[in-house]
Structure 1
Amino acid sequence: MRPFTYSCAKDATNALTQLAGNPTAKFLAGGTNLLDLMKEDVERPTALVDISGLKLTEIKSITMGATSGGVSIGGLGKNTDAANHPLIRQQYPLLTQAILAGASGQIRNMATNGGNLLQRTRCPYFYEVSMPCNKRAPGSGCGALEGVNRLHAIFGWSEKCVAVYPSDMAVALAALDAVVRVRNAQGQERTIAFTDFHRLPGDKPEQDTNLQPGELITAIDLPKNALADHSYYLKVRDRASYAFALLSVAAGLELSGNTIKQARIAMGGVAHKPWRALKAEQFLVGKEATDENFKGAADAEMADAKPLEHNKFKVELGRRSIVLALQTALNGGKA
C-alpha cells in the first residue's frame, strides 16, 4: 500500500471542501472495497477523508417532493440497517432480499449504502495490475475481451471494456426506480435517476458513474410503489454464499387480478451497470401473469444479448432466471 494522509471530516461541507482541494483524494466510509483496492495497488489515493462519522444515516418516510410517500435511505447508513429497517422490509422487501444476498454479515455491518453503489468491478483483469485494463489504466487495452471472460458482460459492453458491475443492492434499486441525492462543495444538491447513475463503458470505462468530481452521496430515495406483495430477488452464483452473482434478477409485479399493470425487472452480472430489462417489462404490461408470458418477456429481453467466447451460457441462464424470478414474485416471493 502506498503512503497517504488521513483526516476526519467534521461535517459534509468540511468533507467536500477537503476533497475539492485534492483531485487524488478519496472519501472513506466503510472501506470494504476501497481498502482492498489500495492493498492491491489498483487504487492509489494520496489522501483519505473519513466521512464515517457524518450524520447521513437516517431512514425515513418522504413527505414532500417527487418521491413523496416513499422512503429515504441515508447515504452513510449501513447495509445491515437498511436491510432490516421496518420501512424497507414492509414496503420494499425486494431491496431487503438483495442486500442480504450480498457479501457476508460482517461486511454488511461495515459497508455503507452510498459506498455500495460506488464499489468497483471484480473483474480479475482489473485487479491484476500486470494485465492490461482500460478501467484501471486507460489506453492499455482490455485483457478480458480476448481472455477468460466467463464472468463478463453480455449486454452493453464495448471493445474498451467487458467488465460487469458487482452490487446486489444496486440491482434492486434499479428495479425500484430509486433516485440518488448528491451534494457538491458549493452546497448545491442535485438528484440522479438510478438508471442514469452508473455508466456503460463506451470509450471511457474508467468512469463508473455520472457523479461529478467531489460530489458526495447524501441519500437514496425510493418512490412509493405497489410491488411489495409480488417481488423477488434471484441470485445465481458459483457457490452458495459470499460470492458475486454470475447473474441476478430483481423482479416486481403490480397486479390487477391476474393482469399485470406494471412490471419492474433489473439484472445483475450481465453489464457494466445494473441492467434494466425494459423490453421484458414492456412485453408484460397488460398481459396475464402466466408462465407463457413470463417466457415471452424473457425471450424479448435476451434476444439482444451479445455473449463473449466463454459466457454464452449466460444467455440461457438469463432467460430461465427471468422466468423463475417472475414466477416467484407472483407467488409472493416464495419459491
Structure 2
Amino acid sequence: MEWKGRRQSGNIEDERGAGPVQGGMGGNPFGRGGGFRLPTGGGGRGGGMSIGTIIFLVVIYFVLKMMGIDMLQIMDGGQVSSPGVEQSQTRSPQGSAQEEETKAFVATVLAETEDTWNGIFQASGQTYVEPKLVLFRDGINSACGMASSASGPFYCPGDQKVYLDMAFFDELAQRFDAAGDFAEAYVIAHEVGHHVQNLLGILPKVNAQRQRMSEADSNQMSVRVELQADCFAGIWGKYTQQKGLLDQGDLEEALNAATQIGDDTLQKRTQGYVVPESFNHGTSAQRSTWFKRGFDSGKLSACDTFNGNI
C-alpha cells in the first residue's frame, strides 16, 4: 500500500504512556451491547475474579502499602519505593522507530477512511462524524469497560472510539500468518466499519435486539454485524484502489487476513475443533466473501447482511 507522504489523521489519541490498566473491576467491553472487536482466539464468556479474591487482593495491597511498597506504582511502570527514598519516574508515549512508523501508518489509514466515509455520507446528504482512534500498550479503560491487549482491536459505541494495541500487528503477522500493510489496514477499516454502523443506527438497533435473544441467536446476530463491518472495510478498499494506492498483492493480503481470523480457522488453531453455534464473527469463507463484495461494488447497498442467508 502506497501510504507514505499522505495526510495523517488528527484523530489519534496516543495513550501508550498511560501504563497498564489499573484496578480490574470495570465492565466487559465485549458483552452484549458492548464493544466490537476482532477475534483473537483467546477465551470466551466467563472468567473474572470472585469477591473473596478481590477482598484478599485489597488486603494485600494495603499491607504492602504500610510497608512502603506501592503496587500501583509498580504496575504503572515505576519501581519499588522504600520509606525516605525518592524515586523519579518519567512516562513518554514515544516508542521505537518501528513503533513510531506504525503510528504514522495508522494515522494515514485512518485519514483515508475519513476521506472515504466523509464522501459517501456527504453524497447521501448526511454528516460523517469522524471517530477517534486510541493507541495503547498492555491495557486501556474505555467507555465499554477495561480491556487488555489480549482483547484485540475493538470499537466502543459508548465513546465512538477505535482502540488498538500497538503490538497487535506483530501478532497478526506472527500468530495469524496475516502479514502485510494492507492486512493491517483492513483491521483498522473493519473497526471503522463498526463506527459507520453506529452512525447509521444499526448498532443501537442490533444491541437492543440481542438483549432479548438466546446466546445462540445473539451469536448469529453478532456474525451479521461483523460481516457487514467486513463489507464496509471492502468499500473503503475499493476507494483506496481507485486512488491508485494499492500495490500488487494488497487485495490478497486483506483477503488472507479475513480468512485467518475466521471463527472456524481460529477454533481449529486454538482447540483443534470447531463449534459452529459459538461463532460470533463469521467463518473464513464468509469474512473474505463479504470483504470482497464490498470491494467489488463500493456500495452500501451491497452490504446488507441482515436479510437472507450469509
Which of the pair is proportionally richer in strand?
A: 1
Asked which structure has the greater RCO (Cα within 8 Å, sep 6+), the reply is 2
Which of the pair is proportionally richer in helix?
A: 2
TM-score, normalised relative to structure 2: 0.30
